[in-house]
Amino acid sequence: MKRSFFLPTVAPVVVLSLLLTACGGGAAPTAQVIVNTVVVKETSVVKVESTTIVSKESVVTATPAPTVNPYNDAAPITVWIDAARKPMADLWAKTHPDQANLVKFELVDRGQFASKVLLFNNSGSGWPDVVFAEPSIVQKVADAAHDFPGDLTPWVDPAIIKNFVPGSLDPCYSPDKKLLCLRNDLAPNVLWYDKTLMDKFGYKVPTTWEEFQALGDKLVQEHPGYIMGTADNEPTFYMWASGCPVAHPLSVSEVVINAEDNKCVRVAKMIDHMVANGSLSNLGPFDPKYIAYGNSGKLLMMTCAAWCGDYVFNGTYYKPEQLKNQLAAALPPKWQADDKAYTGNWGGAAWMVSKHTVNPKLAVSIAVYMTTDLNVTQIVGTMPAYGPAADAWAKKLDTSKLYASNPYEVMKQATGMVNPNFTDVVRYDLNLGFKPFLAAVEAKKPTVDTLKDVQSTLVDLAQKEGYSVKTTP
């Protein structure tokens, strides 16, 4: 049987220098023996093709050893998941019986993952092969100290990557454009509103933040006791949509932080105005007193993540008997001075593969399965990141008693509106940095005055994570 070569071309020529001793008086010329070799596929035999003796000097080189495959498709792997991913793991094992004995799924607290990676690095072993975690954690363990996630680009079919919802993979890319994860689900912030109440009051959905604030003024005058959401949630809901430059990474080691920029100040001024007149609450979204607004039908609208419809309004703000197809979703407003509207993100996790795995073929196949298989993605309660899976998931919303109309297209469009000048994939804790701001909200004190403290806190946190901080791009 004819064999094909492992290498596409003949291996380099080996030149062996032989010193021949002359007979008689004079020195003989130095002769060279040239041996042509090739490496035969599926063998470790070096086959000698020809030998030629020449009489001129040549540079001596060596034949490279046959390349050893560093991977093992039969090696067992470990996958770290949370409890909510257990049904997905069970389905994978059921549908892959020939590989199930190679995969160990472990339930772990991913909040401790970054510190564990450092321990594994020190010991030189222990790394899991696949990990379920938020993109912010992925990026946190992608720095030089952790150096954990592998680049998925060579391993994932470009056609699969192309089918993810536009913008969904943005948080998975490193500054040098390596694909470090595949998104599991999406959580862009949208403007949820009670359509029944809006129609009853004769109000139009605001399309700018200036209109949003003006509607708040009108609401407290005409319908006191009703609210338009809360300022005591992730401050990034409003800051992110505004493009407040407090988490704008320029590279793995450089970030822009300027909490006193106008794009931060305008948000603080709006919040101060609306908290003062009562159109925005100063209570957390899961505070019993805040939930009471929803239970009593006095929550007109609220900026919240895509999953808030099924998992917060449904069952928390609205009891089962209150579901009367009243909830609708709108795209986030824009600031009048801006060219277009942006939004932020609250949640949405991903799957990453370790660069240390010796079985990347199996590891990557699990990440791809968990994010793209139509059966497993329907187990996910939130919006899948993979386009075909998201389209299939959205059909379930048509029959919901919660929605006035299917919010999927708004969610899908909002995914591509996440402001690139603010991201939660930086290595420092944004909520910790905004602690002075939130404390002012809860005390009903001006938040504008806290921005200088937010700035110094964030800079300190960023520098401790190894960032060089700039105030402008």
Q: Which phi-psi region, left, alpha or beta, contains residue 341 (left: φ > 0; alpha: ψ -120 to 50)?
A: beta
pLDDT at 389: 96
Contacts (Cβ under 8 Å, ≥6 apart) of 310: 381, 382, 400, 402
Structure tokens at 208: 């700018």
Contacts (Cβ under 8 Å, ≥6 apart) of 458: 246, 257, 259, 428, 430, 433
Rounded Cα–Cα distance for residues 388 and 393 (Å): 9
pLDDT at 235: 74
DSSP 418: B
Amino acid identity of residue 25, one-letter, is G
pLDDT at 89: 97
Q: How far is CA 308 from CA 116, 234, 313, 315, in A?
A: 32, 13, 6, 10
Structure tokens at 301: 């609208």
Residues of the chain with pLDDT under 70: 1-67
CA-based angle 65:69:75, to the nearest 5? 150
Rounded Cα–Cα distance for residues 309 and 353 (Å): 31
Rounded Cα–Cα distance for residues 385 and 412 (Å): 9
CA dihedral sign of residues 208, 210, 214, 220 = positive
Structure tokens at 330: 């709108």
Neighbouring C-beta atoms of residue 398, cutoff 10 Å: 10
pLDDT at 67: 66
Q: Which CATH class is domain 189-344+416-470?
A: alpha beta
CA-based angle 428:233:185, to the nearest 5? 70
The interaxial angle of helices 262-277 and 209-222, nearest 10 deg, is 10
Q: Model's pTM, two decimal places?
A: 0.83
Contact between residue 214 and residue 273 where contact means Cβ atoms under 8 Å apart: no
Rounded Cα–Cα distance for residues 371 and 376 (Å): 8
Per-residue model confidence as pLDDT tens digits over 304-319: 999 999 999 999 999 9
Rounded Cα–Cα distance for residues 225 and 457 (Å): 36
CA-based angle 401:403:406, to the nearest 5? 120
Quickly list DSSP for 165-224. PTTTTGGGB-TT--B--EE-B--BEEEEEEHHHHHHHT----SBHHHHHHHHHHHHHHST
Tokens 């975690």 found at: 133
CATH number assigned to the domain covering 77-186+347-395: 3.40.190.10
What burial class does residue 251 get, using C-beta atoms within 10 Å of its C-beta: 0-12 exposed, 13-18 middle, 19+ buried?
exposed
Q: How far is CA 281 from CA 104, 222, 229, 232, in A?
A: 46, 17, 6, 7
Rounded Cα–Cα distance for residues 408 and 89 (Å): 26
Same fold: 77-186+347-395 with 189-344+416-470? yes
pLDDT at 146: 95
**Which of 187, 150, 152, 182 has its CA nearest to residue 169?**
182
**Which of 398, 340, 348 has its CA nearest to residue 371?**
348
Show me where the domains of the chain are located: 1-61, 77-186+347-395, 189-344+416-470
